[in-house]
């Protein structure tokens, strides 16, 4: 019998964290569903990354290079960054977790937007920190609303730019204004997981701003444009002092041998990056226009996905989700973000996008 008074108890707050529910990947009775639920690369991984992954097979009995030397040099060279200021993680998710563990004491807080990416929050709660959410009435992080949440216990402000699941973005000017208004002891994390898909001319990467600042971290991932979500590789570009502090708690072999090798090769695969970007930039507006034509709201998106809102009072997101599932299409319900009338749909291949358009056209007629 379990005695509740003597059973091992998780530390305060752990059981208050809502379990993360990822994008579905199976549909009962359908052998090969179209998985458009996790913003993965519709073209898959590139040939150079796959060749490097296969070549890594001869080395999987060896521990990886804990310093990620080759990948570090490749990323630094590609983006023109100082190698020592890079932090590599098991996905950029691990970079967020490492930052939280390094800077958050119990009772501290992080600030992010109401619809900010859940990964920032999970590990912050695990540090017994609070999560303060700035309202996003326009489905977009607002500088003043973020600043209004900052208090004396705030240690980190997280902005995803572009943002998931809304697809909105902040201009370079907005990011600069946010940074200027923040006290210098607060870290500003700018998560640029979708940077490569942006076309808007007032968007800017925060990498040059981060180079000059003592409190900005920019993160990037190999999971989206490079199509390596299953290998878990991401990085942050941080002030040297931050990178060195984080490195004290980073476990020595946090990125695997195949992950390091495939990511290094992916950086050199310009053709795959270009094809991936062009697919999204071609189909994102077509999907948006078509679905708007059926009477549903589609938020403007700067990422490789769109967020469709079902709020005509007649057809719900849940019913649309069921209908898409019945056609073998898996998309992402975003109730976990508090958006109960929305479905997030990854931009897929041409065939997949046409299937989404056809299904929603039929659904609109129900």
Using rule CB under 6 A, residue 221 touches ligand PLP: yes
Which residues, numbered 323-342, are part of the site for ligand PLP (CB under 6 A)?
A: none
> Residue 86's beta-bridge partner residues?
237
Mark out the alpha helices in the chain (DSSP H runs): 47-55, 69-79, 92-103, 118-126, 143-149, 172-181, 207-212, 240-249, 257-267, 270-293, 317-326, 350-364
What x/- string results for residues 53 through 92 when contact with ligand PLP is judged by CB under 6 A? --------------------------------------xx
> Residue 310's beta-bridge partner residues?
none
User: Nearest approach, Cβ of 163 to ligand PLP (angstroms)?
Assistant: 7
The answer to whether the beta carbons of residues 267 and 80 sit under 8 Å apart is no
Query: Looking at beta carbons only, is 290 or 302 nearer to ligand PLP?
Result: 302
Query: Which residue lies nearest ligand PLP, judged by its C-beta?
Result: 91
For ligand PLP, which residue of 193, 195, 265, 279 counts as binding (CB under 6 A)? 193
Using rule CB under 6 A, residue 236 touches ligand PLP: no
Using rule CB under 6 A, residue 160 touches ligand PLP: yes
Would you mind telling me the total number of residues written for the chain in this entry? 366
Q: Are strands 234-237 and 216-221 parallel, antiparallel or unpaired?
A: antiparallel
Query: Looking at beta carbons only, is 219 or 353 nearer to ligand PLP?
Result: 219
To which residue do tokens 């898996």 refer?
330
For ligand PLP, which residue of 234, 258, 259, 348 counts as binding (CB under 6 A)? 234
Cα distance between residue 328 and residue 352, in whole Å: 10
Region from 19-27, 139-147, 219-227, 322-330 binding ligand PLP, contact rule CB under 6 A: 219-227
Q: How many CB atoms lie within 10 A of CB 63?
A: 10
> Residue 218's beta-bridge partner residues?
190, 237
C-alpha torsion angle, residues 42, 34, 308, 291 (rounded to 10): 90
Write the DSSP symbol of residue 16. G
User: Nearest approach, Cβ of 6 to ligand PLP (angstroms)?
Assistant: 37
Query: Looking at beta carbons only, is 52 or 122 nearer to ligand PLP?
Result: 122
Query: Looking at beta carbons only, is 94 or 142 nearer to ligand PLP?
Result: 94
For ligand PLP, which residue of 114, 191, 204, 261 counts as binding (CB under 6 A)? 191
The answer to whether the beta carbons of residues 121 and 114 sit under 8 Å apart is no
Closest C-alpha to 306, from 336, 334, 335: 334
User: Nearest approach, Cβ of 196 to ligand PLP (angstroms)?
Assistant: 12
Using rule CB under 6 A, residue 93 touches ligand PLP: yes
What x/- string results for residues 116 through 145 when contact with ligand PLP is judged by CB under 6 A? -x----------------------------
3-state secondary structure (DSSP) of residue 24:
coil
User: Nearest approach, Cβ of 91 to ligand PLP (angstroms)?
Assistant: 3
* Interacting residues toward ligand PLP by CB under 6 A: 39, 91-93, 117, 160, 164, 191, 193, 221, 223-224, 229, 234
């Amino acid at each position: 019998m379990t005695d509740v008074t003597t059973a091992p108890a998780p530390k305060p707050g752990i059981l208050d964290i809502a379990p993360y529910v990822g994008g579905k990947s199976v549909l009962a009775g359908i052998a090969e569903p179209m998985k458009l639920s996790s913003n993965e690369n519709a073209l898959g991984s590139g040939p150079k990354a796959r060749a490097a992954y296969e070549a890594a097979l001869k080395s999987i009995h060896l521990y990886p290079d804990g310093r990620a030397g080759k990948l570090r040099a490749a990323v630094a060279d590609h983006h023109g960054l100082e190698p020592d200021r890079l932090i590599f993680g098991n996905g950029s998710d691990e970079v967020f977790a490492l930052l939280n563990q390094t800077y958050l004491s119990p009772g501290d807080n992080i600030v992010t937007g109401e619809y900010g990416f859940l990964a920032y929050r999970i590990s912050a709660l695990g540090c017994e920190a609070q999560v303060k959410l700035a309202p996003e009435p326009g489905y977009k992080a607002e500088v003043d609303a973020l600043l209004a949440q900052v208090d004396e216990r705030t240690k980190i402000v997280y902005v995803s730019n572009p943002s998931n699941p809304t697809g909105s973005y902040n201009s370079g000017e907005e990011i600069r204004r946010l940074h200027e208004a923040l006290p210098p002891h607060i870290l500003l994390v700018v998560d640029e997981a979708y940077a490569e898909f942006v076309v808007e001319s007032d968007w800017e990467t925060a990498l040059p701003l981060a180079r000059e600042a003592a409190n900005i971290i920019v993160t990037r991932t190999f999971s989206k444009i490079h199509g390596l979500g299953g290998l878990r590789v991401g990085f942050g570009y941080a002030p040297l002092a931050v990178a060195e502090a984080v490195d004290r708690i980073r476990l020595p072999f946090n990125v695997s041998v195949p992950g390091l090798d495939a990511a290094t090769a992916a950086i050199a695969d310009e053709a795959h990056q270009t094809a991936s970007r062009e697919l999204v930039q071609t189909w994102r507006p077509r999907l948006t226009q078509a679905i708007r034509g059926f009477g549903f709201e589609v938020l403007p998106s700067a990422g490789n996905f769109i967020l469709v809102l079902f709020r005509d009072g007649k057809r719900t997101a849940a019913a649309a989700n069921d209908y898409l599932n019945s056609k073998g299409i898996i998309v992402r319900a975003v109730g976990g973000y508090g958006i109960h009338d929305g479905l997030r749909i990854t931009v897929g291949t041409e065939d997949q996008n046409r299937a989404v358009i056809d299904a929603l056209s039929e659904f609109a007629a129900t």
